[in-house]
Amino acid sequence: MAANTGDLLLHHEFANINGIKMHYVTIGEGPLIVFLHGFPEFWKSWKHQISFFSKKFKVVALDMRGYGETERPIQVGEYRIEKLARDVTELIDSLGQKKATVVGHDWGGAVAWATAMMNPSFVEKLIVMNAPHPAIVQRNAFRNYAQMQKSWYMFFFLLEKAPEKVLSSNNFEILKHMFEISIKRKDRFSLSDIEEYVSSWSKEGGITGGLNYYRANLNEEFWGNLGESIPFPKIKIPTLQIWAEDDMFLGKELTEGTKEFVVDAPFSLNVIPNCGHWVQQEAPEEVNQIMEEFLLNGHN
């Protein structure tokens, strides 16, 4: 099904993969790029990248498991990171492709890291925005007190039912406020942008799916195993990390040491100043330029 979004003629498609029906939009021809959004968003958070990269690539931006028009399994275990990474590779396969550049932001970035570690043969290049490598998360947990203060909401999200009730009250007032206070470049978001998110959250179970990412992966097992050093597989894929310097949820120090987990392949880190968490929407020109140089002109 084709639909206009701005000046783009996007194709809205569905694929039956990994036990769910997944919705995605696609446009363009060429090498495949798959975009993975974070919490609490949906495919349209990549609108600036979709329009820019569709000129030279086949762009696919999906509604992640539990979001938008994609199915929302009820069981929390259905949102384990292994399953989310499998969603990505099965979608790539369903598109008749062997590899793709995988781009992720926030939880989408966590899934992108996992995909590159668990299923590297599917990943041509890796681009991660404002999502720390899991080993860096482990290294900072309970040691980085500033980050612990920033992450207080994660512990609230682990509760049953209460987060949904609080976040959805007064027409999602708290979630809207969260966006408003965390956006550094205010002119990049309009009221209609925020209302599109509200429309997505208003679907049945529209908040629970996203919260289940926290419940499935940052549960008691995760916190209980922090004392153990998990041997994460090294990434041998060209990797680009983009970080918004003024992210109120994730400190810039969470980029430190990432390079040691990318071996035998180029790694580059680009920090964008005066920019909040929603980096691909707040700084689309900078993000697109950095990505384009990485994808088309070699590596930084």
> Which entry of 67, 79, 197, 214 is annotated as an active-site residue?
214
Residue ranges and CATH numbers for the domains of the chain are 2-296 (3.40.50.1820)
Asked if the model's pLDDT at residue 227 lies above 80, the reply is no
How many angstroms separate the CA atoms of 268 and 56, rounded?
Answer: 22
Q: Rounded to whole angstroms, what are the CA distances from 170 to 158, 206, 209?
A: 22, 15, 20
- Top pLDDT among 205 and 17 is at 17
How many angstroms separate the CA atoms of 33 and 88, rounded?
Answer: 11
Q: What is the pLDDT of residue 299?
A: 43
Q: Determine if the peptide bond prior to 233 is cis (ω within 30°).
A: no
Rounded to the nearest 10 degrees, the angle between the axes of helix 107-118 and helix 81-94 is: 70
pLDDT digits (tens, 9 = 90+) for 254-288: 999 999 999 999 999 999 999 999 999 999 999 99
> Which entry of 24, 106, 133, 213 is annotated as an active-site residue?
106
Other beta carbons within 10 angstroms of residue 39's beta carbon come to 20
Active-site residue flag, 153: no
Band the pLDDT of 224: cuts 50, 70, 90: low
Q: What is the mean pLDDT of the chain?
A: 91
Query: Global pTM?
Result: 0.94
pLDDT digits (tens, 9 = 90+) for 20-37: 999 999 999 999 999 999
Active-site residue flag, 106: yes
Asked if the model's pLDDT at residue 110 lies above 70, the reply is yes
| Distance, first Cα to last Cα, the chain | 38
Lowest mean pLDDT, pick from 160-164, 192-196, 242-246: 192-196
> Which entry of 37, 105, 133, 277 is annotated as an active-site residue?
277
Active-site residue flag, 197: no
Asked if the model's pLDDT at residue 106 lies above 50, the reply is yes
